[in-house]
Amino acid sequence: MSSEFGRNIRVSVFGQSHGRAIGVLIDGLPAGELVDEEELAAFMARRRPGKDALSTARHEADIPIFLSGVKDGRTCGSPLCAVIENEDMRSSDYDELLDSPRPGHADYTAWVKWGGLADMRGGGHFSGRLTAPLCIAGGISKQILARRDIHVGAHLAEVAGIPDDVFPLSPTPELFRQVAEKTFPVLKDAAGENMKSAILKAAEVGDSVGGVIECAAIGLPSGLGEPMFEGVESQLARALFGIPAVKGVEFGAGFTSARLTGSQNNDLFFVEDNNIRTKTNHCGGILGGITNGMPLMLRTAIKPTPSIALPQQTVSLSRRESVELVIKGRHDPCIAHRVVPVIEAVTACVLLDMMFDRLENFTQE
Amino acid sequence: MSSEFGRNIRVSVFGQSHGRAIGVLIDGLPAGELVDEEELAAFMARRRPGKDALSTARHEADIPIFLSGVKDGRTCGSPLCAVIENEDMRSSDYDELLDSPRPGHADYTAWVKWGGLADMRGGGHFSGRLTAPLCIAGGISKQILARRDIHVGAHLAEVAGIPDDVFPLSPTPELFRQVAEKTFPVLKDAAGENMKSAILKAAEVGDSVGGVIECAAIGLPSGLGEPMFEGVESQLARALFGIPAVKGVEFGAGFTSARLTGSQNNDLFFVEDNNIRTKTNHCGGILGGITNGMPLMLRTAIKPTPSIALPQQTVSLSRRESVELVIKGRHDPCIAHRVVPVIEAVTACVLLDMMFDRLENFTQE
Amino acid sequence: MSSEFGRNIRVSVFGQSHGRAIGVLIDGLPAGELVDEEELAAFMARRRPGKDALSTARHEADIPIFLSGVKDGRTCGSPLCAVIENEDMRSSDYDELLDSPRPGHADYTAWVKWGGLADMRGGGHFSGRLTAPLCIAGGISKQILARRDIHVGAHLAEVAGIPDDVFPLSPTPELFRQVAEKTFPVLKDAAGENMKSAILKAAEVGDSVGGVIECAAIGLPSGLGEPMFEGVESQLARALFGIPAVKGVEFGAGFTSARLTGSQNNDLFFVEDNNIRTKTNHCGGILGGITNGMPLMLRTAIKPTPSIALPQQTVSLSRRESVELVIKGRHDPCIAHRVVPVIEAVTACVLLDMMFDRLENFTQE
Amino acid sequence: MSSEFGRNIRVSVFGQSHGRAIGVLIDGLPAGELVDEEELAAFMARRRPGKDALSTARHEADIPIFLSGVKDGRTCGSPLCAVIENEDMRSSDYDELLDSPRPGHADYTAWVKWGGLADMRGGGHFSGRLTAPLCIAGGISKQILARRDIHVGAHLAEVAGIPDDVFPLSPTPELFRQVAEKTFPVLKDAAGENMKSAILKAAEVGDSVGGVIECAAIGLPSGLGEPMFEGVESQLARALFGIPAVKGVEFGAGFTSARLTGSQNNDLFFVEDNNIRTKTNHCGGILGGITNGMPLMLRTAIKPTPSIALPQQTVSLSRRESVELVIKGRHDPCIAHRVVPVIEAVTACVLLDMMFDRLENFTQE
């Protein structure tokens, strides 16, 4: 149950960082949907490491192999399983960590939970590497949603305190496309350059930085979501907090709304082309857990990469005494930019699941 | 499914604001647990309106009647149902709202979802009144947890931008008790006075304010939670976003951690009395979705009350044209202070659920 | 979780036999559905005891009180809670049973599970009395299905080895109505008279008898159900085995099909009025877990009432020695005829749940 | 959701008969459990076809490849994924079936549900071949249960109306082992010979036969299961009906109990070696949905193989007219004997899931 989300379209992730393969099982997809492997590869490339000095040197081809659920390039109604075989692993880097948990990682809590029984090489099942299969599920979900004119896009809203622009009130698919094609996913390139400098500066001193990601979904029907605990916010938050390094989730104005007055924060209704819209979108497109037809807007906080080159104090689990730890191996001085497509992916999966009873098997095209 | 949360101990809320009764069904509680009705009444009194000028004048006794699941004052293993009968309803206040959705409320989205078929008097099932049965479930959960030396406490961390102190690294049950006994739940009373002034000032001009609530849980075993989507953060966030007016949830340093470096944000391990602890708690007691034995720390953003006395622009649903709306009736200029026990309640329910397989039927006492 | 079934439309039963009230919570019903209380009362009367010498003398009015989810006689989209207040309880009858578990009842297993902490008066939460709230949920579900021309009917197929006729290949709503109006729900009244004689003969010697119930659903769309573990059979069987006294469930020819050859058992397809139908219905309308458009057919085995007047051997739990038990109080010499509407009720709830994404909010009448 | 069962230990099956691979994902297994691949292979060999004239000539090595969840031969706490690559497929055999649904198969219902979009070659996801990954999950579950002295065994209770002996009141692990080692899994070999003759006789005339499987579990703690819809019967039945060809499930005396009197059917308690036991086991070890410490006993009805060589009448879906169908290819004249380990497998998975909160990570050997 732990590595699974969704109610009608369920996404289950499996694999350990240094195991034989990682993968995803998706149960409940409509049949007849084209799986455009080229488009999927382009989407997955956005989270792949090793592109420049900003990220780890680990190289993974990350090519999904479809074991089931796809026939002649289309979904066929039965559960879809796709795997990525692991390669380029250096498990020896992790040998000494078994007794000395890395600060900020799940090493310690995994040791408490499973004793030494977990496979924690490379972070095991907790590794950011598990976001690759999430991107397979999300990439397919994005394709299916796009055929219904629903689009999900995201950008780096902030790195090391340096802000990007914010999404406009009504983002367009074209805007999402433009950001997705950039090697560094920001709206304002000048802000992106500053962010990159901050990342490289942190890297130079063996440190790391975090960031904030803004994500939007456009084209959603109004009336999506159920009251209270099956509301859009509840379902998205549950899934988003499953992504490693996410420590905060807010919708619309979020924590900022707590500082506004009611008259500032309320989004006033008006009629435009016979459609009911709101002048602002502080609620992020959700009222009472249900979509109101305005763009869905959310932000997630990504903590700085816990793996840093600087020496850190930790403990020896066996000797119960303090030790100094120096983490070897390759690490990202920032992961926030690589998490951008992962946020899109998980958001798309949840929205597709919530759209479940409005989808039909899709034969045309 | 919509108004239910929990996996093994499930909490289902029912009722409409102006219906016959509201209530809660809890399935899966251990047997033999004392339900201290006096303590429960004291807990529920913390969210009750009508105490002073800070909140609505609606008076509700809010006395839970136990229909099932309790025998001779103790849980008996079968599902517990408790109801509160509604009284003091003025449905006529809401008559004209049916065609003119209130900004910031679920009126519009409920209309989209159910046409005119929903019972939206007083906000219907979306009303903050539904948090009363949540407090029944939470109050009982808190009692059960307290017998295992697990305590949940919360305070108003911020109202209208005015900050309270923050919880210390290791809050005590005594601190939780002190805050709970205050009529205005802050750590620093001077801050509370400033908050109250801000609330009254907003009320004077027919406006409202929001706030932030900090919640902590102490005494939790380490190793609680499952990887990824059944992590502590995922399960808590899903439930917390089901509370009306919550627009953001963060754990530990949350959005602030996005601005720290890795060396600042990582919580360093050390040994104290043979226990492994961390010097800081930026992770909020959770690593990889699993508790690490440090206090669980979370914050939620509460938006300003959407019901304000100021005239607001909205639309006539039938005529598809703009209208000006003046909301009559009684409303809270701030609800954040009344939401404090609700956050505690929902947090306690989720933690009890996660503790499920570590609880035994409890006969001693 | 224990007393709940359904995926999108969830039915949760609560209450103990001698507690304050019993009831049901239904989450997920479409809005705008008329709840015909008179029709519901007529349905519930079919399971009510005390009608004649065939059943217990306990008298219960069994009038449901709707606490939520219904406004002006129609469902309003929020969870529906209905309760029945208990009356006419004689708990003293059960006092001595606490140490001497009744054979065939859940007394012993409840004692193992909860020690003496469960409320087992009158069978507690395990009592057949809990089938009354199931009939509330089922009666409402039947009304909602009937508006979509889907009808569920059942009859006593066998009592004490005496068989009734079997349903024809294509039962009609009229046939269901006729059986439902009989005080003894059989197709062939002569068989019913023989069954009644057998029941009374068992009662005379302080014994009891069991039976088999055949249930059918007509009007279901083809294509309902999901492969494997969410198939129609899986979902129905899970719910049906939750009814006290059910010890077997079979679909179509069921155990009989195990003795047929493939050429006998296969249902051959043919075209009739451009519809594809089968000449026989040994599969009970389900192939691969999915409906094929033929009537759904199932049978359940109901064990003889475990409460009998004859002395029985049991043990003293405290003294760990054999004792002879004579059960006092009032008991049904057969419950199978009273379970007939319960089987209909649970079947209707499950089918409504499976129809979930094909229902719309229903405004017309 | 469709191909998944279990609450805490979830088993998801994927793959199509003629797809690239079939497999299983198991989430929630305790860590540190040895996966004895040799023992697993021996278990899986029991369902494998192609051993003699009694079954299909399709040859599959059926060797599971572990992609995740196992490290150094032991479970490591993260989801376990195992796959079997498909080989020896003759898809051309199925080409003409696309327009002519085979009687007794899911061809027609799959066509209704997904149009022509499903991959129905070889029965697709509905194929009995999907029981191979179920046996991987079940084989591992059986090993884990056996370490807690819980054993699951089954035999062919009946084929073509020819009965085997029944399990004794208290079967032993040794008895289970003996049956498991036989090429034809019966208690009484003479009965087995008669069954085999009946199967071969059916095969000679191009027909097929069905059977009944009796399954038992010993060593289960008492007190397992939850009231009503999470009872042992509900959980097992839901999973068992997910196995292709299962059309009936009964516990203990099942449908036979419907013909007994209460005094015959009630299992009388007595004390033996200070343990409370029953003299008979008509309830199959379950009272009120909860185990009573006696062996769990269940029976399932397996319909005759729908694929037969005899010509059958069906319809052309495109032309809406009757056609005669002759199924080519290789088929089992009986599958009941091959389903025996599958029943064991699914039963073991469900029981392991229900044991979830009584398992600990298992480090000793």
Rounded Cα distance between D85 and D81, Å, is 13
**Cβ within 8 Å of residue C252, ≥6 positions away:** C281, C282, C283, C284, C285, C286, C297, C298, D247
Positive or negative CA dihedral for C51, C57, C63, C67? Answer: negative
For residue B121, what pLDDT band results from cuts at 50, 70 and 90? Answer: confident
Give the per-residue pLDDT at C315: 96
For residue B83, what pLDDT band results from cuts at 50, 70 and 90? Answer: very high
Which strand (E) or helix (H) includes residue D141? helix D131-146
Classify strands A74-75 and B65-68 as parallel, antiparallel or unpaired: unpaired
User: Would you say residue B49 has pLDDT above 60?
Assistant: yes
User: Would you say residue B165 has pLDDT above 50?
Assistant: yes
Tens of pLDDT along B192-204? 999 999 999 999 9
State whether B119 and C78 contact (CB < 8 Å): yes
Select from D97, D134, D238 the residue whose CB has the most chain C CBs within 10 Å, as the one to mutate to test that interface.
D238
Classified as helix, coil or strand, D136 is helix
State whether A12 and D12 contact (CB < 8 Å): yes
Give the per-residue pLDDT at B235: 97
Residue of D nearest to A5 (CA): D1
Give the per-residue pLDDT at D251: 98
For residue B48, what pLDDT band results from cuts at 50, 70 and 90? Answer: confident
CB of C265 closer than 8 Å to CB of D210: yes
State whether C118 and B12 contact (CB < 8 Å): no
Give the per-residue pLDDT at A98: 78
Place of tokens 């100021």: B310
| Chains contacting D (3 or more CB pairs within 8 Å) | A, B, C
Ranges under pLDDT 50 in chain D: 364-365
User: Would you say residue A39 has pLDDT above 60?
Assistant: yes
Which residues from A are below 8 Å from C when comparing CB atoms?
7, 78, 227, 356-357
Give the per-residue pLDDT at C365: 42
Tell me what ipTM this predicted complex has. 0.96
Give the per-residue pLDDT at C357: 85
Give the per-residue pLDDT at B97: 67
State whether B12 and C27 contact (CB < 8 Å): yes
How near does any CA of chain D get to the CA of A326, in Å?
Answer: 26
State whether A227 and C356 contact (CB < 8 Å): no
Cβ-based contacts of D21 with chain A (< 8 Å): 67-68, 81
State whether B1 and C16 contact (CB < 8 Å): no
**Cβ within 8 Å of residue D271, ≥6 positions away:** C315, C320, C321, C322, D277
Q: How many residues does chain A have?
A: 365
Classified as helix, coil or strand, C343 is helix
Rounded Cα distance between A54 and A335, Å, is 9
Cβ-based contacts of D71 with chain A (< 8 Å): 16, 19, 119
Cβ-based contacts of C22 with chain B (< 8 Å): 68
> Which of A78, A227, A357 faces C227 most closely, judged by CB atoms?
A78
Ranges under pLDDT 70 in chain C: 1, 50-53, 55-60, 88-97, 361-365
**Cβ within 8 Å of residue A227, ≥6 positions away:** A288, A289, A290, B2, B3, B106, B125, B126, C78
Return the number of CB contacts < 8 Å for C and D: 368
User: Would you say residue B217 has pLDDT above 70?
Assistant: yes
Residue of B nearest to A223 (CA): B113
Cβ-based contacts of A301 with chain B (< 8 Å): 250, 254-255, 257-258
Rounded Cα distance between A347 and C144, Å, is 34
Quickly count: other Cβ atoms within 10 Å of residue D119's Cβ: 27
Tens of pLDDT along A84-101? 998 766 666 556 667 999
Rounded Cα distance between A108 and A126, Å, is 12
User: Would you say residue B159 has pLDDT above 90?
Assistant: yes
Tens of pLDDT along C67-99? 999 999 999 999 999 999 987 666 565 566 679
> Which of D101, D257, D291 faces C269 most closely, judged by CB atoms?
D101
**B267 exposed, middle or buried (CB, 10 Å; 0-12, 13-18, 19+)?**
buried
CB of A78 closer than 8 Å to CB of D122: no
Residue of D nearest to A123 (CA): D78
Tens of pLDDT along B312-346? 999 999 999 999 999 887 789 999 999 999 999 99
Which one, of D82, D66, D36, D74, lies nearest residue A20 by Cα? D66
Cβ-based contacts of C278 with chain D (< 8 Å): 103
Residue type (1 letter), D229:
F
User: Would you say residue A44 has pLDDT above 60?
Assistant: yes
Of all residues in chain D, what percent carry a pLDDT higher than 90?
84
For residue B35, what pLDDT band results from cuts at 50, 70 and 90? Answer: very high
Give the per-residue pLDDT at B157: 98
For residue B90, what pLDDT band results from cuts at 50, 70 and 90? Answer: low
